[in-house]
Each structure stands twice: as C-alpha cells, then as structure tokens.
Amino acid sequence: MSDIDHDRLLRSNLQRVFNERNPEHRAQALSELYVDDPVMFEPDGVVTGREAISAVAGKLLDQFGANFSFRPDGVALGHHCLGLLRWQAGPDGGPVAVTGSDAAEFSGDRIARLWVLLDRQ
C-alpha cells in the first residue's frame, strides 16, 4: 500500500493548476504539486517543465471561457506511485463538453509525469 494521497493530489492538480486563472497562483501550485522537471503527455504532444504546463492550463482556460472548469468524476485510484483520476469539464452549470482521465506517476508526493487521456466523443 502507498502513503501517497492520490485523490488529494490529483484533485488539487485539477483545481489549483487546471482551473486556476491567476498565473501566479497557478505557478505556486505547480511548485507544490510537481517535481522540478515534470513532463505532461497530451494527445497531441509532450510538454516539459512547470512553466510550459502552466501555459497549457492558461491557454485552455482562455480558450473555453470564464465559466469553464474541470471537475473530478469519482475518487482517484492509485498504488505504487501511480494514480488515476477521471474528470469532466464544461461550463459551470452547463453540459459536459469533454471527459477524460489524468494518470500521474509520482515521485515522493509530487507529480513527475502526467498523462492527459481524453475520452472519445
């Protein structure tokens, strides 16, 4: 059994990184939640470093509008430094626009690598 709180960390990642519109707050969250040199794997590419991950999160939020957010869908599962959290996203109070999962490899209690998996629509 692992001492990592996968659910808390992956939920914090959704809320404090991918829902955070303030770049300074997002940078602070990244420094607390991620290792120094994280890698994020997206369907269309690989993103390296905290600043680059922050830029991707900010761009997504700008692209989809002020009332768009990511929400956890259930409780994260995990063991042996690997965690998985399903999520959904869309306008607050509106229909779900996209669903997917974040799979994270942890180093200690920080995210080292994150895979963003989108469900087929």
Q: 57: domain range?
A: 6-118
Could you tell me if residue 67 is inside a domain? yes
Could you tell me if residue 26 is inside a domain? yes
Could you tell me if residue 44 is inside a domain? yes
2 pLDDT band, cuts 50/70/90, is: low
Question: Are 100 and 116 within 8 A, CB to CB?
Answer: yes
Could you tell me if residue 72 is inside a domain? yes
Question: Are 71 and 93 within 8 A, CB to CB?
Answer: no
Question: DSSP character for 13?
Answer: I
Could you tell me if residue 1 is inside a domain? no
**Residue 90's domain is classified under what CATH number?**
3.10.450.50
Tell me the C-alpha to C-alpha distance, in Å, between residue 58 and each of 13, 22, 23, 79, 82. Answer: 13, 8, 7, 30, 25
pLDDT, position 1:
45
Could you tell me if residue 18 is inside a domain? yes
Could you tell me if residue 100 is inside a domain? yes
Q: pLDDT tens digits, residue range 52-111?
A: 999 999 999 999 988 999 999 999 999 999 999 999 999 998 899 999 999 999 999 999
3 pLDDT band, cuts 50/70/90, is: confident
Q: How far apart are CA 62 and CA 81, in angstroms?
A: 32
- The number of domains in the chain is 1
Q: How far apart are CA 29 and CA 53, in angstroms?
A: 11
Could you tell me if residue 81 is inside a domain? yes
